A = this chain, B = another copy of it.
């Protein structure tokens, strides 16, 4: 009996030992599996990190290149635009001046003949004087003095107009050069719109009729050059959105505490799914190489820096409106 009991106990203990050992094996097995699994996760995460580090290096490298190409594109655009704008007036002024040079010769010749006449009159030699007249009339005819005298003023006036146009462009450039200014200034937004229009005129004139509805605005403290950059982006974008010919309406007015500037084009419009991404850096719907997609995000940044706001509404096939609101109380930027 005693032996039997003990033997039963032994059986119990053996079973308990078996269970315990199996439990240990299970625990050890789970430990190994989990460790392995976590090893994989950790390796994966580490790889993600090294991948990101690589990607960041690429971003930095690309950054330099992108800056370069943006800068080049901008400079090229400006240089080409200015060259084109100046070329025409300078061309005809030069040509007028060449004509004036010829006219000058003719006039001198004429006057020297007149002076010969004067000499003969002075010597009271009426026969000789009269005979000069034929000569004179011939020269006058030959040199087309009547036309010259008639044309002279036109040429000079036209040339002055030409040089004035160049001067206007120079003024526009100077105003545009204020882009570079690091300091805030009082400025008239309408003036900024006007001078920006002058700069980009060459680029947009074939595609859009520009309708200006600019109400008088109070001066505001701002970075005028930066705002001009925003205007330029919006104007050029509008022109690019127009397929053949269209209208760009630029309005400015005061509304409550804000100056509102609105650019409405009759271009192709923006798809709703793109509308919300519009101000993201590097978002562009333009073909590769046609734009870095920075214009609007930079504009957004500039407007935010001025404590203002920029909105867009658009309907595909109808057009797009960008609205900028700038607080008049210049805000301590």
Chain A residues at the B interface, C-beta cutoff of 8 Å: 2-3, 6-7, 9-10, 13-14, 16-17, 20-21, 23-24, 27-28, 30-31, 34-35, 38, 41-42, 45-46, 48-49, 52-53, 55-56, 59-61, 63-68, 70-80, 82-83, 86-87, 90-91, 93-94, 97-98, 100-101, 104, 107-108, 110-111, 114, 117-118, 121-122, 124, 126, 129-130, 132-133, 136, 145, 149, 152-153, 156-157, 159-160, 163-164, 166-167, 169-170, 173-174, 176-182, 225-226, 229, 281-282, 289, 292, 294, 297-298, 301-302
Contacts and interface: CB of A to CB of B under 8 A. Distances in A.
A48 B47 CA distance: 12
A176 B75 contact: yes
Contacts of A156: 97, 100-101, 104
Contacts of A52: 49, 52-53, 56
Chain copies in complex: 2
B61 A281 contact: yes
9 contacts: A3-B3, A27-B27, A61-B281, A66-B67, A74-B75, A86-B169, A100-B100, A101-B153, A101-B157
Contact of A289 (B77, B179, B182): B182
Given A38-B38, A68-B229, A83-B174, 13 more contacts: A13-B13, A52-B56, A56-B59, A61-B281, A64-B301, A68-B294, A75-B177, A76-B177, A79-B179, A97-B156, A98-B160, A101-B156, A118-B133
A107 B148 CA distance: 11
A59 to B, nearest CB: 6
Contacts of A41: 42
Given A107-B107, A129-B129, A153-B104, A76 B301 contact: no
Nearest to A124: B126
B70 A71 contact: yes
B170 A83 contact: yes
A292 B46 contact: no
Nearest to A161: B97
B136 A118 contact: yes
Contact of A166 (B86, B98, B130, B289): B86
A95 to B, nearest CB: 9
Contact of A38 (B42, B74, B97, B114): B42
A274 B87 CA distance: 44
Contact of A226 (B14, B72, B98): B72
Nearest to A66: B67
Contacts of A6: 3, 6-7, 9-10
A44 B17 CA distance: 41
Contacts of A181: 76
Complex A-B, nearest 3 residue pairs according to Cβ-Cβ distance, in ascending order: A76-B180, A13-B13, A6-B6
Contacts of A66: 63, 67
A174 B148 CA distance: 35
